[in-house]
Amino acid sequence: MFTGLIQAVGRLVERTPVGGDLRLRFAVGALPFDDVLMGESIACNGVCLTVVAFAAGAPPGSGSDAWFDADVSTETLALTTLGALAVGAAVNLERALRVGDRLGGHLVSGHVDGIGAVESIVDDARGQRWRFSAPKPLLRFIAPKGSIAVDGTSLTVNAADDAGFEVMLVPHTLAHTGFGTMAVGTRVNLEIDTVARYVARLQDTEHWA
């Protein structure tokens, strides 16, 4: 599990075809990484990936070569934006939540529900108002003042309609996530709030009884 609070912006540095799918290598930037373990989970643009190789111990923010590799299946490549991610692209990174950590965002599983796109970016005081499209099957789970993860970032929904939703991005979010590199048309990974998912499922099962 994750919180949706991005710990660092890394970079995709290699895409290596392996047996019909891909192995991706990410430079970790300032991500705290000296205690990384083989097999642990790291969210990359909101996609939970497993570390299969790494070089650790680089001081955070040093610009050194700390990295990790993750294998990405054909399913993940087809259903997330990772399949089209270009070498050099910025990537939101978050290591898995530990027992006792502060839950400052919301519970995020790292399982992407669909792909949306940036529809508009409008300056609003010191922040920006962003609008995203979303697949229609997901819209019933997106509610004003609810939570949604966009490329792994926990955001509060300001408005939602039958085509998409809006959020406000504060200066800190713009400066410390990959949103600063996005433009209108950029595709993003979406994960709906876990609570909304199960409430809807329970409502559906009432019709089965």
Instruction: Kindly report which listed range (52-61, 120-129, 186-195) carries the lowest average pLDDT score.
Output: 52-61
Q: Is 61 exposed, middle or buried (0-12, 13-18, 19+ CB in 10 A)?
A: exposed
Q: Is the pLDDT reported for residue 65 higher than 70?
A: yes
58 versus 68: the higher-pLDDT residue is: 68
82-127 pLDDT per residue, tens: 999 999 999 999 999 887 777 777 889 999 999 999 999 999 999 9
CA 10 to mean position of chain CA atoms: 12
The predicted structure's pLDDT at residue 206: 58
Instruction: Provide the pLDDT confidence category of residue 207 given band limits of 50, 70 and 90.
Output: low
